[in-house]
Structure 1
Amino acid sequence: MRPRTFFAFVGPSLVLMILFIAIPLVSVFLQSFWQTQTVFERVEIENCTPGFPAPNCTTQTVTRPLLDESGRTVTETIYVGLDAYRAVVQPEAVAAAFAAGEDFWSRLSNIDFWKALRFTLTFTLITLPLVVGLGLAIALAVNAALRSLRGPIIFVSLLPFIVTPVIGALSIRWLFIGDGILTNALEAMTGTQIFMFAQGWTIEILMLTYRVWHVAPFAFVVFYAGLQTVNQDTLESAVIDGASRFERLRYVVIPHLMPLIVFVSLIHLMDAYRVFEEVIGFSSQAHRISLQFLTYDFLMPDDSGNRSISRASASSMLTMIGIVILLVPLLMRTWRDYKPRG
């Protein structure tokens, strides 16, 4: 392909990536080193009440935002270096937690960033094998089903993936919270009261279960499409050689699907590490938060209307670094599989 033709195809994508990915990323990176804050002034205010023979007046000094000539609040932007990162990670509190010895984990769990990091990593690394395994199992089952049944089975299997994530999470929450249908059913079977949202570990199980239920259909569709391209001659040769079903799966089917398994893993890692919908849908902020929710929380205005833009930017950059670290092994495998061989 000629260079001119190549850039004609790639150019629009490069422009959009620069506009909507590269520039915002650089902007967030720079904002993590600068802090914009409101300028306040101290003024004396005289309050008078009617009195005889003269009014009673008192003077008090108050602090209020400084306004410009147009009546808008005056702000200033100052360079803070790594202070935003230190405010998020809190290395002094981490060192104090290490010094506490046996009480280390409970102290570390009181720091928002490390609590969010723990849940994010657990959520990502537990759901990944479950999504890949369940998606592959469904794909193998549908591929072995009668051709007349495959259409309805595929349609039903895709329904969880069609549901909007927040709506799906809210639906699961309503089934279990309070006197939900499933809560009442469990209480009737066990004879004990069940409070699924009173402790963090039960909420976390529900969130993990929902993510697997929601994302497994995507893996199923990808793997099912890959199964249609498996070389039938190779499978027939394996059957003639006496290979069992498990051996055919291990030595023929899975190696053929490995590029798709890596692809699904990459997509899931990037998506699960940015978990946010489940935290909102299950209202788990009191027990479980994610790195994405932590960034969102920094962006919410405080009582004075200020937003922690620098800390939110620092949290976003740390989240991105975490995603890159998780993707490195898969990207290295992909590079080894497809790099030109000399």
Structure 2
Amino acid sequence: MKFKTFAMFVGPSILLMLVFIAFPLVTVLVNSFQVTQPIFTTQTVETCTPGFVTQTCTTSVKTVPVLDEAGNTVTTTRWVGLSSYANVLGGDRLTRALSNWDIGAVLRIDFWKALRFTLTFTLITLPFVLALGLAVAVVVNNAARSIKGPVIFVSLLPFIITPVIGALSIRWLFYGDGIVTIWLEALFSTDLAVAANGWAVEFLMMFYRVWHVAPFAFVIFYAGLQTVNQDTLESAVIDGASRWERLRYVVIPHLMPLIVFITLIHLMDAYRAFEEVIGFSSQSHRITLQYLTYDFLQPDDAGNRQISSASASAMLTMIGVVILLAAPLRRTWRDHRGG
């Protein structure tokens, strides 16, 4: 292929990746080492009471932001090195907690609280997504042809629904006077407050993630089952292998590349979870690293945003994703070289 032809095909993709991926990533990295703050000045303000003879005047000093000719606040940017990362990680609070071996104090720091839940949320839901997706794929693959279409359609519904709408649907079943909550209260003759229990909220968020993502695993596994060598399965049946043995020694090894693929997608997606926190209103109980970055970007009473802390949090989140993906990517590379 000529270089000109190659450039015409690849050039637009490279340009878009540079504009929408590389440039924003470099910008976030630079912002994590900088702090932008408004410039303030002090003004002497004299306030007088009404009247002429008995008029009393008082003088006070106020701090006000400096404005430019257009009326916008003048800001200044300075390099702070790793200070933003230290602040996000906890700074002096983290040092004191580690010196006292106080794990509870560490987990009360926003970043470590978010990291604990994010890792738990990601790693616990992964095996359930894989197992449920494979189970549904096997059942559908062995179902009668007449019912395969409707079963596939129903199985894909949770994945088709918008994530926030799906989270709100699960929330309405359990929060307050939800249908499931009313049934459980009647069954156990007690009052339940799911929204007030952090572990109950965490369980519902994990349940929603499995319910929402398992159909994606089902589609991938179902497509992979169509490529399983039927001669090998028939030989296993002749040799007396049970259904479980055929699944374990024939089907699952054949689907292993797809298992690694689904694992990669799930780790990247679940580690950046955000919709669950919004849908279940779990900010007071459970937050994720992605939500922590979003929280840093919310303006305070003065309208200022913690851009540097948000950038540092985003970079730490990306580093966590890379660490999680290291093992699956290493296996993929090893399988590729072996092939």
TM-score surpassing 0.5?
yes
Match of 1:143 in 2: 141
Secondary structure, counterpart of 1:35 in structure 2:
strand
Number of equivalences:
339
Compared CA separation, residues 277 and 95, structure 1 to 2 (3 A): same
Unaligned runs of 5+ in 2: none
Secondary structure, counterpart of 1:197 in structure 2:
helix
1:2 Cα offset (Å): 5.2
Cα distance between partner residues in 2 of 1:24 and 1:340? 36
Match of 1:36 in 2: 36
Match of 1:263 in 2: 261
Q: Which moved more, 1:271-280 or 1:244-253?
A: 244-253
Q: Which amino acid aligns with 1:82?
A: L
Match of 1:22 in 2: 22
1:69 Cα offset (Å): 2.1
1:234 Cα offset (Å): 1.2
The 5 Å alignment of 1:231-270 reads 231-270=229-268
The 5 Å alignment of 1:1-342 reads 3-53=3-53, 55-101=55-101, 104-339=102-337
What is the percent sequence identity of the aligned residues? Answer: 67
Which string of whole-angstrom CA distances, capped at 9 and with x for unpartnered residues, describes residues 46-97 of structure 1?
1112224153211111111111222211110111110100000024322321
- Using structure 2 for the length normalisation, give the TM-score: 0.97
Compared CA separation, residues 4 and 235, structure 1 to 2 (3 A): farther
Cα distance between partner residues in 1 of 2:254 and 2:8? 34
Cα distance between partner residues in 2 of 1:136 and 1:12? 38
Cα distance between partner residues in 1 of 2:254 and 2:54? 95
Cα distance between partner residues in 2 of 1:6 and 1:220? 36
1:173 Cα offset (Å): 1.1
Q: Which moved more, 1:54-63 or 1:38-47?
A: 54-63
Secondary structure, counterpart of 2:195 in structure 1:
coil
Q: Which amino acid aligns with 2:156?
A: L
Q: Which amino acid aligns with 2:88?
A: V
1:174 Cα offset (Å): 1.4
Cα distance between partner residues in 2 of 1:2 and 1:171? 54
1:305 Cα offset (Å): 0.6
1:283 Cα offset (Å): 0.4
1:9 Cα offset (Å): 3.0
Q: Which moved more, 1:168-177 or 1:208-217?
A: 168-177
User: What is the aligned-residue RMSD (CA, Å)?
Assistant: 1.3
Q: Which amino acid aligns with 1:338?
A: H
Secondary structure, counterpart of 2:281 in structure 1:
coil
1:273 Cα offset (Å): 0.1
Unaligned runs of 5+ in 1: none
Which string of whole-angstrom CA distances, capped at 9 and with x for unpartnered residues, describes residues 192-228 of structure 1?
1111111110000000000000000000001001101
Secondary structure, counterpart of 1:339 in structure 2:
helix
Q: Which amino acid aligns with 2:307?
A: I
Cα distance between partner residues in 1 of 2:295 and 2:60? 35
Compared CA separation, residues 185 and 328, structure 1 to 2 (3 A): same
Q: Which moved more, 1:87-96 or 1:252-261?
A: 87-96
